[in-house]
């Protein structure tokens, strides 16, 4: 296996041609930082895992082939977002440079009012909630490894046990934990592994794997 990617490689040109390379090498860097995040384009959202991080950029590990894209918005676990440009790609790794120098301490600590906030992928996907005696048409609004938010015109009972079904999504047992303005929160009985979930939501967005 190759060594983890280093942010040293995220400059387009050499230090002799530009100050960018030297600047990025000099930036304090946290290596082997394994933390989930989200890559956002105008049309899609994808799960990734941060491996290296500095105030000028980061490297991530992805779980499937991504559509061609030169720029991403990166969303961290606390909801913070930064704009970044793709500098290099190699297999399942990718290096990105921030459009502006970031607060490294904040990126590492990821302060949030939500405890251990799960990364959610926003969707608009038709699905079925199956329960004893009936199936109900719903739309999946977002999904994480722990649960999903759905929209539904029918009234569903809180704490009901259901099975969520959708194209590309394996039948998933869940409980309805909250209800608000036609939206419902489902908590999965079994947590989905990141690699499986990443590939599933990519397929649900019509991305060839």
Characterize the bridge pairing of strands 29-30 and 35-40: unpaired
Same domain for 128 and 183, yes or no, is yes
Same domain for 77 and 129, yes or no, is no
Which pTM does this prediction carry?
Answer: 0.82
The residue written with tokens 């500095």 in the block is 54
Q: What is the pLDDT of residues 108-165, one digit of tens each?
A: 888 877 666 789 999 999 999 999 989 999 999 999 999 999 999 999 999 999 999 9
Write down which residue in 109, 129, 155 finishes a domain: 109
Same domain for 61 and 126, yes or no, is no
Q: What is the pLDDT of residues 56-75, one digit of tens each?
A: 999 999 999 999 999 999 99
What is the residue range of 143's domain?
A: 121-204
What CATH number does residue 160 fall under?
Answer: 2.40.10.220
**Is the distance from CB of 74 to CB of 47 less than 8 angstroms?**
no
Q: How many CB atoms lie within 10 A of CB 11?
A: 23
CA-nearest of 167, 159, 123 to 141 is 123
Same domain for 102 and 13, yes or no, is yes
Into how many domains does the chain fold? 2
Q: What percent of the residues of the chain are helix, what percent strand, and what percent coil, each to the nearest 5?
A: 15, 45, 40
Residue 131 is assigned to a structural domain of this protein: yes
Sign of CA dihedral 194, 200, 204, 208: positive
């Amino acid at each position: 296996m190759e060594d983890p990617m280093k942010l040293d490689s995220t400059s387009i040109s050499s230090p002799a041609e530009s100050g960018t390379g030297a600047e990025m090498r000099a930036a304090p860097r946290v290596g082997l930082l394994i933390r989930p995040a989200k890559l956002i384009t105008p049309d899609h959202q994808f799960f990734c895992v941060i491996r290296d991080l500095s105030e000028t950029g980061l490297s991530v590990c992805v779980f499937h082939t991504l559509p061609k894209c030169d720029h991403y918005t990166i969303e961290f676990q606390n909801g913070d977002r930064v704009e970044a440009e793709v500098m290099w790609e190699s297999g399942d790794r990718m290096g990105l440079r921030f459009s502006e120098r970031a607060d490294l301490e904040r990126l590492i600590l990821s302060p949030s009012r939500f405890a251990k906030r799960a990364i959610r992928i926003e969707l608009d996907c038709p699905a079925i909630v199956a329960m004893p005696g009936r199936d109900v048409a719903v739309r999946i609004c977002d999904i994480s490894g722990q649960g999903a938010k759905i929209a539904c015109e029918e009234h569903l009972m809180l704490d009901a046990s259901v099975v969520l079904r959708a194209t590309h999504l394996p039948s998933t047992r869940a409980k309805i934990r909250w209800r608000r303005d036609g939206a419902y929160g489902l908590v999965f009985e079994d947590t989905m592994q990141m690699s499986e979930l990443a590939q599933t939501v990519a397929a649900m967005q019509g991305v060839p794997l």
